[in-house]
Amino acid sequence: MPAMGRDVDVERFSQRDFARFGERLRAETELLHDLVEQGAISSHAPVAGLELEGWLVDGQGRPAPRNAELLAALGSPDVVTELGRFNFELNVPPRAVAGDGLARLGADLDALWQRCRDAARALGMQAVAIGILPTVTDADLTLANLSDRARYRALNTQVQRQRHGRPTRLEIEVAEQPPLVCEHRDVMLESAATSFQVHLQLPAALAVRGYNAALVASAPLLAACGNSPLLFGRRLWQETRIPLFEQALGIGSREDGAHPPVARVGFGSGYAGWSLVECFRENLERFEPMLPLALSEPPERLPHLRLHNGTIWRWNRPLVGFDDDGRVHLRVEHRPLPAGPTVADLMAELAFAIGLVAALATDETPPEARLPFDSAAASFHAAAREGLDATLRWIDGRDWHGAALVSRLLEPAADGLARLGVDAAFAARSLRLIEARVASRRTGARWQVMALDRRRGDLAAMTLDYAARQAEGAPVHEWR
């Protein structure tokens, strides 16, 4: 169960709760360090998993805050609540990457998504996978639409406490337009952004290289996958989820005078060096606990470390988990990709991401030695702003046009998938889809903007058109 999916039975905490949690967090961080030093981390063959967040919409294409009804109808542990009552999340069990593992993972996603669509339709709604729902308004993002779980109320309370009562100010700059500016006193801005999260577990010896490779790969991956160009009726970035989520909580790390502040949601503070334990040490030392629960699991399950890590949202987040035999593993959760447009698109993106990360992680020269971290972060935000038209710095020291760089990276991604033993037909089919998307220049974000123009700015009509095409299943580059 993801850390932020953990049940919570309290909403407010005492100073004693924070002190006790801090002690246990420190002890578990040291335990993880010892496991890494002893070579006790899993070296299981590569494994992939995924999470997909969705929206519920009514017959007018507006958000439908009825996720409790959907979950009750489904009765599945693999479909859970999200922060907003109009959101839900699918968790697809992981599979080995080699052979037909990724193809089977895609079939699992498709089957579960169809169950969600059928259940929503029976309740008079539609399930839609899209980064930001074009019809969502600022007025929808209120505590009245917070999912009815104590953990979300506790999160909201703690965020307000750490902000000392100050509102979150969202300000998204757009070329040749006034910025989008609004303020919120709760966490509900976060519920406007939904994601497709790719999990990749590599053998322990490749954990650091895999994490750094995911950071390096983030910019071209995001450039190819934008699907969130609209917020509150405004045309903003190709992937507006990025600045929205980065600003939604409005809190960062402790200010200690020795280090610059680090955002609680963001690209991170640097590449990993000797171990991913560095990220967990940063969690311990720089970020105040948000949900200081007294957990009963034994220390060997690292429950406090996992819970704390789940309240720090790096775009590439190292996770601790457990193999079937109980052995501790480390994996990377790649979080920049938006939900949608279709299952075919999502699985092609997953293959491209895993292949590119595998290629970079096994390259003779570590890519993190060739691309400064600040350049990787700057390119990531450029990709979010401009998508395939962004200028991206790559490991060869050159500045590339986004579309040209993505096209160039298809071959190493294919090599990476081959090294992982992924079925050749699935790999080729997936990368051909990305190639066709780049050739047509039709990402989900581009389609939404063009469709909105055809609909003369009618957000609801465009949203329903998007939902209908998503249900048909053809990849977005074939949409007209």
Please give the full DSSP string across 122-141, using - where no structure is assigned: HTT-EEE--SS-TT--GGGS
* Integer angstrom CA distances of residue 434 from 18, 97, 221: 47, 19, 10
Within 10 A of 298 (CB to CB), how many other CB atoms are there? 8
Average of per-residue pLDDT across 20-25: 98
Phi first, then psi: what are they for 443, rounded to 5°?
-80, 175
Distance CA 470, CA 129 (A): 8
Tokens 């220049």 map to which residue? 441
pLDDT of residue 249: 87
pLDDT band at 372 (very low <50, low <70, confident <90, very high): very high
Domain boundaries, the chain: 3-478
Q: Which two tokens stand for residue 468?
A: 């209908």
pLDDT band at 20 (very low <50, low <70, confident <90, very high): very high
Q: Which two tokens stand for residue 364?
A: 């003779």
Within 10 A of 121 (CB to CB), how many other CB atoms are there? 12
Average of per-residue pLDDT across 395-418: 98
Model confidence at 262: pLDDT above 70: yes
Angle at 435 between CA 430 and CA 436, to 5 degrees: 100
Fold of 3-478: Creatine Kinase; Chain A, domain 2 (3.30.590)
| 3-class SS letters over 41-61 | CCCCCCEEEEEEEEEEECCCC
Model confidence at 272: pLDDT above 70: yes
Distance CA 134, CA 129 (A): 12
DSSP 99: B
* Integer angstrom CA distances of residue 294 from 12, 19, 287, 406: 13, 11, 18, 46
Let me know how long the chain is. Answer: 480
Determine what percent of the chain is predicted with pLDDT higher than 90.
93
Mean pLDDT of the chain: 95
Q: What is the pLDDT of residues 69-112, one digit of tens each?
A: 999 999 999 999 999 999 999 999 999 999 999 999 999 999 99
Q: What is the pLDDT of residues 295-332, one digit of tens each?
A: 999 999 999 999 999 999 999 999 999 999 999 999 99
pLDDT of residue 270: 97
As to burial, measured by CB atoms within 10 angstroms (0-12 exposed, 13-18 middle, 19+ buried), residue 119 is: buried
Distance CA 277, CA 113 (A): 35
Average of per-residue pLDDT across 451-457: 97
pLDDT of residue 257: 58
Model confidence at 3: pLDDT above 60: no
Distance CA 309, CA 293 (A): 13
Average of per-residue pLDDT across 34-39: 97
Average of per-residue pLDDT across 404-409: 98
**Taking a C-beta distance cutoff of 8 angstroms, is the pair 272, 278 a contact?**
yes
Q: What is the pLDDT of residues 330-370, one digit of tens each?
A: 999 999 999 999 999 999 999 999 999 999 999 999 999 99
| 3-class SS letters over 316-353 | EEEEEEECCCCCEEEEEEECCCECCCCHHHHHHHHHHH
Distance CA 319, CA 333 (A): 7
Query: Strand pairing partners for 53?
Result: 89
Model confidence at 2: pLDDT above 70: no
Q: What is the pLDDT of residues 148-185, one digit of tens each?
A: 999 999 999 999 999 888 999 999 999 989 999 999 99
pLDDT of residue 255: 66
Distance CA 348, CA 422 (A): 13
pLDDT of residue 362: 97
pLDDT of residue 256: 62
Average of per-residue pLDDT across 114-143: 98
pLDDT of residue 1: 29
pLDDT of residue 9: 66
Amino acid at 129: A
169: helix, coil or strand?
A: strand
Average of per-residue pLDDT across 428-441: 98
Rg of the chain on CA atoms, in Å: 21
Secondary structure element (H or E) that encloses residue 302, with its range: none
Closest CA to 55 of 292, 224, 241: 241
Q: What is the pLDDT of residues 177-223, one digit of tens each?
A: 999 999 999 999 999 999 999 999 999 999 999 999 999 999 999 99
pLDDT of residue 165: 84
